[in-house]
A = this chain, B = another copy of it.
Amino acid sequence: MLLVGRRADLEAALRSPRPDRIELVHADEVVEMDDALVVAMRTKRNSSMRVAINLVKEGRADVCVSAGNTAALMAIARFVLKTLDGIDRPAIAAVLPNQKGGVTTMLDLGANVDCTAEHLLQFAVLGSALVAAVEDIDRPTVGLLNIGEELIKGNEVVKQAAEMLRLSPLNFVGNVEGNDIFKGTSDVVVCDGFVGNVALKTSEGLAFMLAGFVREEFTRGALSRLQAMAALPVLRRFKRRVDHRRHNGASLLGLRGLVIKSHGSADAVAFESALRRGYEQARHHVLDRTVVEMRPVVAKLAQANREKHPAADHPAAA
């Protein structure tokens, strides 16, 4: 375990003697949560974030886990590590619990707001490869986030992406709707970063409101408190079941290296989840799997493109 940061800060935070498995790597400065991208990228060239990502690039670390500024982490990771072949833009993926007792992997969650159909296809490959590797599912199901059949069927980009996904070798199950995320209709849900971010934040908001209501109702007077006490074991079990800390750790996908973004306000339990997620991704060779999964998609799209435009000398569509 390489711990990157200002040495003095790290030493002050660690209990002594420091466990053997922790090695300190000094960095002069730290990207702050409110630093502008230009500061994070240009001014602070020796930030802990930059040093940590460099460790991944140099092969000294298999994965970087950070709870810092998301935009800075993404920008630095992209600049230092570069994207994989066939990937135009990295994406942010996270897992959400579903009704089936498993998790649904959703991406993009905010790295890309104006997406083309090709981007959505690339996200699908990234998500599929991640789930295939980590959860050991041979061909994860992939759903494309869209809106109800009874209304106008999605926007142009989504329609086009569905077409491309149907052509791809992925296990595409078609359109899914917002409620399918928590139903667990597909292993992977693909959407642009704007929609994904809104869906995620809306869910967080709803969960927070409901938790507040439960707390209020169970503390409304002495009788309610007693009743709550009686139901405490069940409430605790429920709480454990929906504990969002277990799902902490978003994956920056599509890069030539593994990077995990923990929630900035993560406690020890939540941060452990992020570390574990990074560890599992490295152990299951997510990057190799992604490279393998990407190849036939690129090939198939190039072929489809050639068939559509036989005269033109088109490069691969994705």
Binding site for B on A (CB under 8 A): 33, 69-71, 97-99, 110-114, 145, 147-148, 150-152, 154-156, 158, 177-183, 191, 193-195, 197-210, 212-214, 217-218, 220, 223-224, 227-228, 230-234, 237-238, 241-242
Residues A33 and B234 in contact, CB atoms below 8 Å apart: no
Q: Which 6 A-B pairs have the closest CB atoms?
A: A178-B201, A179-B205, A178-B202, A231-B231, A230-B230, A182-B205
Residues B208 and A234 in contact, CB atoms below 8 Å apart: no
How distant is the Cα of A110 from the Cα of B177 in the complex, in angstroms? 12
Residues B198 and A151 in contact, CB atoms below 8 Å apart: no
A150 to chain B, nearest CB (A): 5
How distant is the Cα of A31 from the Cα of B220 in the complex, in angstroms? 48
A287 to chain B, nearest CB (A): 24
Residues B148 and A113 in contact, CB atoms below 8 Å apart: no
Residues B209 and A234 in contact, CB atoms below 8 Å apart: no
Instruction: For A230, give its contact among B111, B179, B191, B231 (CB under 8 Å).
Output: B231
A31 to chain B, nearest CB (A): 11
Q: A178-B197, A217-B238, A231-B231 are in contact. List 7 more A-B contacts (CB 8 A).
A: A33-B150, A110-B147, A113-B147, A114-B156, A178-B199, A199-B202, A218-B231
Chain B residue at smallest Cβ distance from A68: B150
Residues B113 and A194 in contact, CB atoms below 8 Å apart: no
Chain B residue at smallest Cβ distance from A200: B178
Residues B155 and A69 in contact, CB atoms below 8 Å apart: no
Within 8 Å CB of A71, what residues of B? Answer: 150-152
Q: List 27 A-B contacts (CB under 8 A).
A: A71-B151, A71-B152, A99-B209, A110-B147, A110-B151, A110-B152, A111-B152, A112-B152, A113-B155, A114-B156, A158-B194, A178-B197, A178-B200, A178-B202, A178-B203, A178-B205, A179-B202, A179-B208, A183-B208, A191-B198, A198-B198, A198-B199, A217-B238, A218-B231, A220-B234, A220-B237, A227-B231
Residues A69 and B113 in contact, CB atoms below 8 Å apart: no
Chain B residue at smallest Cβ distance from A114: B155
Within 8 Å CB of A152, what residues of B? Answer: 71, 110-113
Residues A233 and B227 in contact, CB atoms below 8 Å apart: yes
Within 8 Å CB of A99, what residues of B? Answer: 208-209, 212
Residues A111 and B199 in contact, CB atoms below 8 Å apart: no
Within 8 Å CB of A148, what residues of B? Answer: 70, 110, 197, 201
Pick from A180, A201, A206, A237 the residue with the most CB of B within 10 Å. Answer: A206
